[in-house]
Chain A
């Protein structure tokens, strides 16, 4: 069974700090990795995609992928209260569907 595990929350960080969200996956054949943000009562929205080892930066967000260790992380720099949400890690291999983690709830304290 393919599994995606996320660090258990909830996670609280002060405004302006770096929030670090981690995700490990079991399928070594996984090729595509995604981070979604979900506000309460809303649908998930894509914030980052990463396909190769290393770092990918987009504004305040950095995704990091290490296929050898089978983990992917998301760093949020200069965290803002508006970043408070649940963050979902998703992984895709040869299958058409994505495997999602259970999510990490992040709270940024003003």
Chain B
């Protein structure tokens, strides 16, 4: 089974802090994704990566950056956290023409 592991289940950060969300997958998938999910807004794609050191913006990249130094690891960075970034963050990975597999999610609260 594909395993996508997100480093934290719950995080509480203060406004202005730099926040790192880490994600690791164990299936050698080339594609990795970061989504956020908010009530009534569905899943929204923040960034994705199709190879090491490669990244592409999704629908809502503002206020976020990403890093992919190794194939199995994809990090989401909030440069200066704001209260409107309070959300559920979901990491996912997929191989070519295969389903998307999600991690357990990180519920981030910015106060």
Q: Is the interface of B mostly helix, strand, loop or mixed?
A: strand
Q: Flag A86-99 by CB within 8 Å of B: 1 or 0 each.
A: 00101010001110
Task: State which of A18-26, A42-50, A63-71 sits at the interface with chain B.
Answer: A42-50
Q: Do residues A98 and B100 form an inter-chain contact, with CB atoms below 8 A? A: yes
Q: Could you tell me the distance between the alpha carbons of A90 and B48 in the complex, rounded to whole angstroms? A: 16
Task: Known contacts A31-B97, A43-B103; decide if A88 and B45 are in contact (CB<8 Å).
Answer: no
The verdict on B64 contacting chain A, using a C-beta distance below 8 Å, is no
A100: chain B residues within 8 A (beta carbon)? 42-43
Please give the distance in Å from B57's CB to the nearest CB on chain A: 11
Q: Do residues B105 and A34 form an inter-chain contact, with CB atoms below 8 A? A: no
Q: Do residues A34 and B33 form an inter-chain contact, with CB atoms below 8 A? A: no
Q: Total A-B pairs in contact (CB under 8 Å)?
A: 39
B residues sitting closer than 8 Å to A (CB atoms) are 31, 33, 42-43, 45, 48, 50, 58, 90, 94, 97, 99-105
- Please give me the 10 A-B residue pairs with the lowest Cβ-Cβ distance, nearest first: A43-B102, A43-B105, A102-B42, A100-B43, A46-B99, A96-B31, A34-B99, A44-B102, A49-B99, A96-B50
Please give the distance in Å from A35's CB to the nearest CB on chain B: 10
Please give the distance in Å from A107's CB to the nearest CB on chain B: 17
Q: Could you tell me the distance between the alpha carbons of A34 and B100 in the complex, rounded to whole angstroms? A: 9
Please give the distance in Å from A71's CB to the nearest CB on chain B: 19
Partner of B102, one of A32, A45, A97, A102: A45
Q: Could you tell me the distance between the alpha carbons of A49 and B50 in the complex, rounded to whole angstroms? A: 22
Q: Could you tell me the distance between the alpha carbons of A34 and B58 in the complex, rounded to whole angstroms? A: 20
Q: Could you tell me the distance between the alpha carbons of A108 and B31 in the complex, rounded to whole angstroms? A: 35
A34: chain B residues within 8 A (beta carbon)? 99-100
A98: chain B residues within 8 A (beta carbon)? 94, 100
Closest Cβ neighbor of B103 among chain A residues: A43
A43: chain B residues within 8 A (beta carbon)? 90, 102-105
Q: Do residues A46 and B50 form an inter-chain contact, with CB atoms below 8 A? A: no
Task: Known contacts A88-B43, A97-B58, A103-B42; decide if A46 and B48 are in contact (CB<8 Å).
Answer: no
